[in-house]
C-alpha cells in the first residue's frame, strides 16, 4: 500500500484549496515559499497512517497525531468556519484506490488540572455541556481539544474492510514524523529535562546506525557505543554514535542526522523483527536539510534512495534547499526517474503546484527573479531502431496504452524512433557493430526468437544489453508472430468469435468499423499474393503459416485503418501484463545505456 495523492477541495485546509499533491513511490520533496502550507501537508500525511503493534527506537509506536505536531486554533480552525476543512488522501492498494477524508473535529474534551490556568488560546467547555456527559465530572474544568480524523469515504468502505482498515481508523502503514524539534539546541534544555543513556542494542542495530551515519557525515574510530538522547516534554530524541567526543556536544547537523538515522534504523529493526509481515513504512521529515552542509545533503539523499528501496519506504519531506531539489531532479538512471519527485508549491496567497517543474523554474520562483523566457533544457536522447513500420506502430500503441505522455518521463530519455526497414538478422547484426548502435535500443519482433534451446541466436539476443523483444510473448495465443501477422490474427479472431467480442465491435472501435466493413475490405488476403501460395485459413494456427510477405503487403495497404481503429492499442490494453513487461524491459535497457 502506498500513498498516491493528497487532494484539497474548495473547502480546503487553511489556505490550501483546489490543490493536488502527487506523491511518488519512494521520495517526494515538497518545496515552496514560507507559509504556503508545506508543513500542514506533512502533518495530514503523518496523521493518517500508523503501526501500533511495535515500538520504534524512539521508544514510541510508529504513529503521529496532527494536534501533537501542529497547533490547531479552536476558533479559526473550527468554530467560525462555515465550511469545515477537508483534505483527501488517496492510497493505492494493488490496482485500486482507497481514500481517507481528513477533517477537524472539536468535540473532544480534555481535563485541566486544578493547579493549572486556562490560557488565552484555550476554550473552556461550559458547565451545562459538561453536565450532559456522564463520564465527565461537573466539578472539574475542561477545554475543547481539536483532532484531525481520517475517515474512509463511502466509496472505499468495501476495500477498507477487505484490508482491515476501520472507517474511522488510520491506514495500516508504520509511520514516523520528524519535525524541527530534532535540531533544538541541546544547550537550551534544562539539565533536569536531559537524559543520556548508554543504549543496549543488538549488534545489527549498532552496525546499521554507525554505517549509515558515517555514510552521510563521516567520522573516525567507530565504536560499539550508541548513546540514547531523551528530552522531557519534547519530541526530540535519537540514538547517537560515539563520535569521539561527549555526545551532548554534537552539532545541529549531527543532531539532525542522528534523528533521521534512528528513524531509518527503526524501520530496519521492524523489518528484521516481523519478517514477512513487513510491507514497508512511511518516513515524514520537515525541513530535511536543516543544519546540513550541501555535500551532506547530497549524501543524505543518496542514502535515502538506497534505504527507501531496501526498506520499501515512502519518504516525504519538505525542503527549501536547491541542493536537495537538484539532486532529486538530476536523475542519472532512467529506472530511478519515476520513483522520486519534487512538488513545488507557488503563490503564497493562492497555492498551486508548479507544472512541469524544472530546477531553473523552481530557482527563479524561489528567488522571485524577474521573468525571463526559460531556455529549453536539452534532454538526453536515445535512438530506437525497429525492423519496420509495423513494429514502430505497435510500440507507439503499447506506450499509449500505458498512458505514457512523454518518453522522458518514463524512461529518463527522449526516444527517437527509427523504422530501419531491415530484417531481424540484419538489425541484430547492427546491435554491436559500432559505438552508435551500442548506445541505441534495437526492438525485435516476437518471431525473432523461438523455443529451440540449440538456437545460438536466442542466447545472443538474451545476453545483449540493448535489445528488447516486442510482445506477444510465450504462452499467448498469438506468440511468435510479427506485428503485421498479429494485426491480421487479432482482427480475424474478433470476427470469428463475434459473440464473445461485442465490446470490441460495439464500443472499442469506431461506429463505422463493423463486421461487414471488415469482411468486405480487410479479410481477403488473395489480392496480396505475388506468386506465393495461400493456405486455407480457418484457424489462428493457419494464419501463423501464411508467408509473412503477404501479411506485410496487407498491413501496409490497411495501415491507415489499423491506426484509426487503434487496433494495437486495444490489443495492448487487453494483454496489459505483457505491455507492462515490455515497458519494464525497455526502461531497464534505457537505464543501462
Question: pLDDT-based confidence at 270, cuts 50/70/90?
Answer: very high
Question: pLDDT-based confidence at 454, cuts 50/70/90?
Answer: low
Q: What is d(CA 231, CA 64) in angstroms, rounded to the nearest whole number? A: 18
Instruction: Give the pLDDT of residue 371.
Output: 66
| 574 or 144, higher pLDDT | 574
Grid cell of 431 as nine digits: 546491435
HSE toward the beta carbon, residue 257, CA cutoff 13 A: 29
Is the pLDDT reported for residue 44 higher than 60? yes
Is the pLDDT reported for residue 175 higher than 90? yes
Instruction: Give the pLDDT of residue 88.
Output: 96
Return the SS3 of 295: helix
Instruction: Give the pLDDT of residue 387.
Output: 84
pLDDT tens by residue, 480-510: 899 999 999 999 999 999 999 999 999 999 9
Q: Residue 210: is the preceding peptide bond cis (ω within 30°)?
A: no
Q: Cβ–Cβ contacts within 10 Å for residue 129, how many?
A: 13
Instruction: Give the pLDDT of residue 243.
Output: 84
Q: What is the 3-state secondary structure (H, E, C) of 377-391?
A: CCCCEEEEEECCHHH
Provide, rounded to the nearest whole percent, the portion of the chain with pLDDT above 70.
91
Q: What is d(CA 148, CA 41) in angstroms, rounded to the nearest whole number? A: 12
Question: pLDDT-based confidence at 372, cuts 50/70/90?
Answer: low
Grid cell of 372 as nine digits: 525571463
Asked whether 175 and 51 are in contact (CB, 8 A), the reply is yes
pLDDT tens by residue, 102-127: 988 767 677 777 667 666 666 677 78
Q: What is d(CA 460, CA 443) in angstroms, rounded to the nearest whole number? A: 14
Range from 73-77, 139-143, 374-378 carrying the lowest mean pLDDT: 374-378
Q: How far is CA 333 from CA 321, 413, 449, 466, 592, in A?
A: 22, 10, 29, 15, 8
Average pLDDT of the segment spanning 428-441: 76
Burial (CB < 10 A; 0-12, 13-18, 19+), residue 103, is middle
Instruction: Give the pLDDT of residue 410.
Output: 80
Range from 90-94, 203-207, 225-229, 254-258 carrying the lowest mean pLDDT: 225-229
What's phi and psi for 52, nearest 5 deg? -95, -10
Range from 304-313, 315-324, 424-433 carrying the lowest mean pLDDT: 424-433
Question: pLDDT-based confidence at 245, cuts 50/70/90?
Answer: confident
Is the pLDDT reported for residue 434 higher than 80? no
Is the pLDDT reported for residue 337 higher than 90? no
Is the pLDDT reported for residue 290 higher than 60? yes
Model pTM greater than 0.75? no
Q: Which of 354-358, 371-375, 549-553 ranks highest by mean pLDDT?
A: 549-553
| 170 or 70, higher pLDDT | 170
Question: pLDDT-based confidence at 375, cuts 50/70/90?
Answer: low
Is the pLDDT reported for residue 563 higher than 70? yes
| 16 or 376, higher pLDDT | 16
Instruction: Give the pLDDT of residue 374.
Output: 61
Q: Which of 175, 138, 148, 33 is nearest to 84 (CA)?
A: 148
Average pLDDT of the segment spanning 208-230: 87
Question: pLDDT-based confidence at 101, cuts 50/70/90?
Answer: very high
Average pLDDT of the segment spanning 85-90: 93
Grid cell of 413 as nine digits: 530519455
Is the pLDDT reported for residue 592 higher than 90? no
Amino acid at each position: 500500500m502506498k500513498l498516491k495523492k493528497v487532494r484539497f477541495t474548495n473547502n480546503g485546509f487553511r489556505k490550501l484549496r483546489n490543490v493536488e499533491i502527487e506523491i511518488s513511490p519512494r521520495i517526494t520533496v515538497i518545496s515552496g515559499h514560507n507559509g504556503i502550507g508545506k508543513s500542514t501537508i506533512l502533518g495530514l500525511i503523518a496523521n493518517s497512517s500508523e503501526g501500533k503493534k511495535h515500538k520504534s527506537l524512539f521508544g514510541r509506536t510508529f504513529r503521529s497525531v496532527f494536534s501533537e505536531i501542529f497547533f490547531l486554533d479552536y476558533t479559526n480552525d473550527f468554530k467560525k468556519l462555515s465550511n469545515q476543512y477537508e483534505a483527501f488522501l488517496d492510497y493505492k492498494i494493488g490496482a485500486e484506490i482507497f481514500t481517507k477524508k481528513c477533517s477537524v473535529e472539536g468535540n473532544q474534551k480534555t481535563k485541566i488540572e486544578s493547579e493549572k490556568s486556562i490560557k488565552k488560546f484555550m476554550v473552556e467547555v461550559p458547565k451545562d455541556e459538561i453536565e450532559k456527559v456522564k463520564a465527565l465530572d461537573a466539578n472539574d474544568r475542561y477545554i475543547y481539544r481539536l483532532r484531525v480524523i481520517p475517515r474512509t469515504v463511502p466509496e472505499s468502505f468495501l476495500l477498507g474492510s477487505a484490508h482491515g482498515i476501520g472507517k474511522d481508523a488510520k491506514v495500516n502503514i508504520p509511520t514516523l514524523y520528524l519535525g524541527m524539534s530534532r535540531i533544538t539546541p541541546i544547550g537550551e534544555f534544562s539539565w533536569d529535562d536531559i537524559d543520556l543513556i548508554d543504549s543496549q542494542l543488538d549488534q545489527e542495530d549498532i552496525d546499521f546506525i554507525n554505517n549509515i551515519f558515517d555514510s552521510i557525515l563521516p567520522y573516525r574510530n567507530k565504536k560499539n557505543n550508541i548513546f540514547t538522547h531523551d528530552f522531557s516534554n519534547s519530541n526530540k530524541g535519537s540514538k547517537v554514535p560515539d563520535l569521539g567526543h561527549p555526545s551532548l556536544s554534537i552539532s545541529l547537523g549531527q543532531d539532525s542526522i542522528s534523528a533521521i538515522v534512528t528513524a531509518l534504523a527503526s524501520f530496519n529493526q521492524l523489518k528484521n523483527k516481523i519478517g514477512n509481515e513487513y510491507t514497508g513504512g512511511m518516513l515524514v521529515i520537515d525541513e530535511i536539510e536543516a543544519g546540513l552542509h550541501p555535500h551532506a545533503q547530497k549524501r543524505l539523499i543518496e542514502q535515502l534512495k538506497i534505504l527507501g528501496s531496501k526498506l520499501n519506504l515512502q519518504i516525504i519531506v519538505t525542503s527549501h534547499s536547491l541542493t536537495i531539489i537538484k539532486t532529486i531532479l538530476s536523475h542519472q538512471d532512467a529506472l530511478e526517474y519515476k520513483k522520486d519527485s519534487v512538488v513545488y508549491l507557488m503563490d503564497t496567497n493562492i497555492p498551486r503546484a508548479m507544472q512541469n517543474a524544472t530546477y531553473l523554474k523552481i530557482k527563479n520562483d524561489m528567488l522571485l527573479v524577474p521573468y525571463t523566457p526559460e531556455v529549453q533544457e536539452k534532454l538526453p536522447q536515445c535512438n530506437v531502431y525497429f525492423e519496420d513500420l509495423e513494429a514502430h506502430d505497435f510500440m507507439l500503441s503499447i506506450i499509449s496504452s500505458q498512458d505514457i505522455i512523454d518518453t522522458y518521463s518514463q524512461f529518463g530519455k527522449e526516444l527517437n524512433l527509427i523504422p530501419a526497414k531491415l530484417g531481424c538478422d540484419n538489425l541484430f547484426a547492427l546491435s554491436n557493430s559500432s559505438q552508435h548502435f551500442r548506445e541505441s535500443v534495437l526492438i525485435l519482433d516476437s518471431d525473432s526468437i523461438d523455443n529451440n534451446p540449440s538456437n545460438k541466436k536466442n542466447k545472443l539476443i538474451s545476453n545483449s544489453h540493448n535489445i528488447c523483444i516486442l510482445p506477444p510473448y510465450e504462452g499467448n495465443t498469438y506468440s511468435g508472430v510479427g506485428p503485421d501477422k498479429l494485426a491480421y490474427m487479432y482482427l480475424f479472431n474478433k470476427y470469428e468469435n463475434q459473440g464473445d467480442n461485442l465490446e470490441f465491435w460495439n464500443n472499442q472501435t469506431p461506429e463505422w468499423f463493423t463486421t461487414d466493413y471488415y469482411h468486405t475490405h480487410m479479410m481477403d488476403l488473395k489480392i496480396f499474393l505475388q506468386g506465393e501460395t495461400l493456405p486455407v485459413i480457418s484457424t489462428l494456427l493457419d494464419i501463423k503459416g501464411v508467408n509473412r510477405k503477404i501479411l506485410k503487403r496487407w498491413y501496409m495497404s490497411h495501415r491507415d485503418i489499423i491506426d484509426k481503429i487503434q487496433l494495437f492499442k486495444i490489443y495492448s490494453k487487453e494483454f496489459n501484463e505483457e505491455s507492462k513487461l515490455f515497458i519494464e524491459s525497455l526502461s531497464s535497457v534505457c537505464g543501462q545505456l
